[in-house]
């Protein structure tokens, strides 16, 4: 016991430095700019002149900005489809591939491979698949009615593999004794899933939820490299709109306000869920 207290109190100063310096670096290069973002959202700034304080004008402007409305709707669609389908698909694949059979590793690896690719490379592959005269007569990326969904497919293709791995790890942690007992009691496969697998996956679920909410709100590269939010803003997400507002239109104040909206959405969804999850426990 004495030796343990000693080791706690006498942290070598060099180790302390190794904790404090990264914290300071992180604070300065990550937290401080993030805080500045909130301030910039209240200004008009072109990146060159000093920012001009405009109060809540940037937020007021969102109310009549048709592109913002499209971006919000699309982000909501994206959150539901991308989040929902990747969770369902990932869980389904994990349950299907959970048992150790011969060759199951190949299937797991095959589903995981898209996660390894960079999203920009992935979108290049899909762009070729979508070429007019390929699978489709005309490219679904060019049609404003289908562009968003056409971009969603490659994003899902990647995310399902990722979520599957999270669930596979979760499934491995379930005590096989529970299933044996259930089999003895004559439970059906569905009953086993409903009453053993699902409740046991509770903690993994909150991880998966956080991951998919964050990933869908920061989905950017796949959309930007395939459509740039077009044709005429039909596949615009909040993230792509924020980027083009900041770096094409050089309206950094308005773009910061958009970033704040994205932050509030991500934070809001996750905190609500976590609070509920903790209460249930």
Partner 1 sequence: MDRRHFLRVTAAAGAGLLVSGTASCATSASSGPVTQAAGTATIQSNLSAPAAKAAIDALVKAFNDKKGAQASVNTVASETFRTQLPSYLTSANPPDLFTWYPGALLKGYEEKGLLLDISDVWQTMGDYPQSFKTLSGKVFVPTTYYWWGFFYRKSNFAKWGVTPPKTWTEFVELCKTLQGKGVIPLGMGAGSDSPWTASSWFDYFNIRVNGAGFHRELLAGKQKFDDPKVKAIFTPWREVLPYTDPNGTAIGFQEATTAMLQGRTGMLLTGAFFADAAPKDAIDDIDFFRFPIIDPNVPLAEEGPTDGFFASAKSPHVKELKEFLTYAATAEGQEAYIKASSGTVLPTHPNAKDSGTPLVTKGRQHLKEAAEITQFFNRDSSDALQPTADAALVKFLQQPDQLDTILTTWQKAAEQVWSS
Q: Given the rule CB under 8 A, which residues bind partner 1? A: 14, 17-18, 21-22, 24-25, 28-29, 32-33, 36, 44, 46-49, 66-67, 127, 131-133, 138-139, 141-142, 144, 225-228, 230-233, 244, 247-251, 254
Least distance CB 244 / partner 1 (angstroms):
6
Q: Which of 220, 255, 243 is nearest to 65 (CA)?
A: 255
DSSP H helical ranges for 136-251: 147-172, 176-184, 189-192, 198-200, 202-217, 221-226, 238-247
As given in the structure block, the two tokens for residue 170 are 């979760």
Angstrom distance (rounded) from CA 53 to CA 100? 61
Least distance CB 75 / partner 1 (angstroms):
18
Cβ–Cβ under 8 Å, residues 264 and 72 = no
The residue (of 78 and 130) whose beta carbon lies closer to partner 1 is: 130
The residue (of 166 and 238) whose beta carbon lies closer to partner 1 is: 238
The residue (of 134 and 199) whose beta carbon lies closer to partner 1 is: 134
- Phi and psi at residue 52, in whole multiples of 5°? -110, 125
Least distance CB 68 / partner 1 (angstroms):
11
The residue (of 97 and 238) whose beta carbon lies closer to partner 1 is: 238
Which distant-in-sequence residues (6+ apart) come within 8 Å of 182 by Cβ? 191, 192, 195, 196
CA 205, 83, 134 angle in degrees (round to 5)?
Answer: 140
Sign for the pseudo-dihedral over CA of 125, 84, 228, 148:
positive
Cβ–Cβ under 8 Å, residues 130 and 150 = yes
Least distance CB 232 / partner 1 (angstroms):
4
The residue (of 258 and 266) whose beta carbon lies closer to partner 1 is: 258
Least distance CB 131 / partner 1 (angstroms):
7
A 10 A CB-CB count for 243 gives: 19
The residue (of 19 and 181) whose beta carbon lies closer to partner 1 is: 19
Least distance CB 119 / partner 1 (angstroms):
15
């Amino acid at each position: 016991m004495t030796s343990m207290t000693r080791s706690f109190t006498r942290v070598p100063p060099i180790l302390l430095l190794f904790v404090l310096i990264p914290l300071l670096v992180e604070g300065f290069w990550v937290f401080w700019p993030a805080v500045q973002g909130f301030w910039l959202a209240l200004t008009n700034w072109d990146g060159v002149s000093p920012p001009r304080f405009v109060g809540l004008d940037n937020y007021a402007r969102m109310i009549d900005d048709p592109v913002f409305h499209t971006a919000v709707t699309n982000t909501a669609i994206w959150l539901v489809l991308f989040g929902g389908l990747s969770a369902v698909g990932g869980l389904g694949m994990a349950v299907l591939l959970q048992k150790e059979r011969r060759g199951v590793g190949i299937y797991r690896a095959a589903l995981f491979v898209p996660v390894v690719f960079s999203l920009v490379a992935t979108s290049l592959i899909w762009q070729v698949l979508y070429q007019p005269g390929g699978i489709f007569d005309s490219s679904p990326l060019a049609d404003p009615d289908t562009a968003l969904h056409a971009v969603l497919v490659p994003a899902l293709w990647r995310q399902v593999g990722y979520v599957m791995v999270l669930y596979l790890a979760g499934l491995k942690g379930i005590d096989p004794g529970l299933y044996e007992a259930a089999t003895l009691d004559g439970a059906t496969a569905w009953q086993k899933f409903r009453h053993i697998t699902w409740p046991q996956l509770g903690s993994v679920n909150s991880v998966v939820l956080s991951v998919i909410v964050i990933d869908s709100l920061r989905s950017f590269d796949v959309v930007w490299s395939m459509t740039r939010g077009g044709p005429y803003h039909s596949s615009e997400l909040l993230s792509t709109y924020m980027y083009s507002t900041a770096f094409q239109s050089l309206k950094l104040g308005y773009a910061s306000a958009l970033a704040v909206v994205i932050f509030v959405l991500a934070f809001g969804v996750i905190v609500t869920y976590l609070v509920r999850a903790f209460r249930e426990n």
